[in-house]
Amino acid sequence: MDKLIPVTQPFLPPLEAFLPYLEKIWESKQVTNGGPFHAQLEQALCEYLGVEYLSLFSNGTLALITALQAMKVTGEVITTPFSFVATTHALHWNGIKPVFADIDPKSMNLDPQKIEAAITPHTTAILPVHVYGNPCEVEEIERIADTYGLRVLYDAAHAFGVRKHGESILKFGDMSVLSFHGTKIFNTFEGGAIVCKDAKTKRHIDHLKNFGFADELTVVKPGINAKMNEVQAAFGLLQLQYMDEVASARGRIAQRYRDAFEGIEGLILHEVPQHSTRNHSYFPIRITDEFPIRRDELYDALRERDVWARRYFYPLISQFPSYRGLPSASPENLPIASKVSQQVLCLPIYPALDVESQDRVIDVVLTAAHSTQLASALSDE
Ligand SMILES: *Cc1c(COP(=O)(O)O)cnc(C)c1O
């Protein structure tokens, strides 16, 4: 039996390195409510990411829900169906109507033209996603937002560390939300953050994530409990020390896949726009009609060799029962997203993925790529 290869695996630093952090927590008895590790991680992440104001959260979904509260968004929000369900759920939990717009076939991110076409008098904001860490057309989205007086919240759950023209991608829009879930490139087991633009907004967000408390006796708003605890924050601080190592390990794997798959007919590799960096958080490929077998057949072939690739993002969010009744959810409104969702497959990528395992993934894909060519070559004889 081959050993199982998951699509991703959290990076875990050596356990011994974490013990001193735990000892400090045991000594201080401060386990949550904005302790010293929480403060240190906010500072360290601002420096690492190149942003000014960041507020830690217990997970990315609560960060999204709270960001929408902080921005006082209501009515309709234009968003992408090609994402993880939490993106749209965050709107639903705020009583906001999601309006799905189609994506660009190349970037797989919201198509700015489709955003503009979906604006109605009820639209108050845009919620785009930097899918796979690939930056959205941020300048064009900003132009649309300015023209129509809309707010912009980026779901940047995949975009940790991504830069465009040397600037953090998290600086665009009114706010950006990160996820530090175990499946993401930087993790605190569960966790997340809101990046915002000024100290006043950060203070407001910090109140909201702590029941609305501004001080011991003052509750300024009906807040929620979305605080990150000290164990998570300490783990984040430790993990941050390994990020350069993690990034280069991921980069090496991505390059091996690229070298192996370059030029295969019917297999589209993911390109990032010029002037943008990659964080290699995912390795999506697209299987088109020119490939000898269908996407789901390739998925099954990988599973037979114990490779658990994932069809992110399939089905589209707009196909789930909670959302498919919306007028904007119809496949006719979303032809490109519908097609891409049928073609996409994310291959395993994580620092501990060894060369032998990479070779197994490559072998299955190459065997599939040459399967019918071989069959038709034989039948030609
Ligand atoms: C992971 C993810 C989230 C949710 O983050 P959690 O920390 O798991 O709550 C939201 N949006 C996208 C695009 C994600 O991939």
Segment 174-201, tens digit of pLDDT? 999 999 999 999 999 999 999 999 999 9
Q: How far is the CA of 133 from the centre of ligand 1 (A)?
A: 12
Distance 186 CA to ligand 1 centre (A): 12
How remote is the CA of residue 246 from the centroid of ligand 1, in Å? Answer: 20
Residue 91 above 80 pLDDT?
yes
Buried b (16+ CB within 10 A) or exposed e, 276-294: eebbbbbbbbbbeeebbbe
Q: What is the CATH number of domain 15-240?
A: 3.40.640.10
* 77 φ/ψ angles, rounded to the nearest 5 degrees: -130, 130
312 lines ligand 1 (CB under 6 A): no
Of 62, 66, 84, 89, the residue with max ligand 1 atoms within 8 A of its CB, to mutate for a pocket test, comes to: 84
What is the atom index within ligand 1 of the atom nearest the CA of 180? 7
Class of domain 243-380: alpha beta
Element at 139 (helix H, strand E): helix 138-148
pLDDT, tens only, 264-286: 999 999 888 788 899 999 999 99
Tell me: the pLDDT tens digits for 232-266?
A: 999 999 999 999 999 999 999 999 999 999 999 99
Q: Is the CB of 186 inside a 6 Å radius of any atom of ligand 1? A: no
| Ligand 1 neighbourhood includes 270 CB (under 6 angstroms) | no
Measure the CA–CA gap between 34 and 45, rounded to whole angstroms. Answer: 15
The pLDDT assigned to 185 comes to 96
The reply to whether ligand 1 has any atom less than 6 angstroms from the CB of 124 is no
CB of 230 closer than 6 A to ligand 1? no
Q: Which atom of ligand 1 is nearest to the CA of 83?
A: 13
pTM score, two decimals? Answer: 0.96
Interval between CA 158 and ligand 1 midpoint (Å): 8
Verify whether ligand 1 is closer than 6 Å to residue 157 (CB atom).
yes
What backbone phi and psi angles, to 5 degrees, belong to 379? -75, -20
Q: Is the CB of 155 under 6 A from ligand 1?
A: yes
**The pLDDT value given to residue 367:** 96
Burial class (CB in 10 A: 0-12, 13-18, 19+), 242: middle
Atom of ligand 1 nearest to the CA of 190: 7
Q: Are 18 and 242 in contact (CB under 8 A)?
A: no
Sorted by where each begins, the domain ranges of the chain are: 15-240, 243-380
pLDDT of residue 5: 96
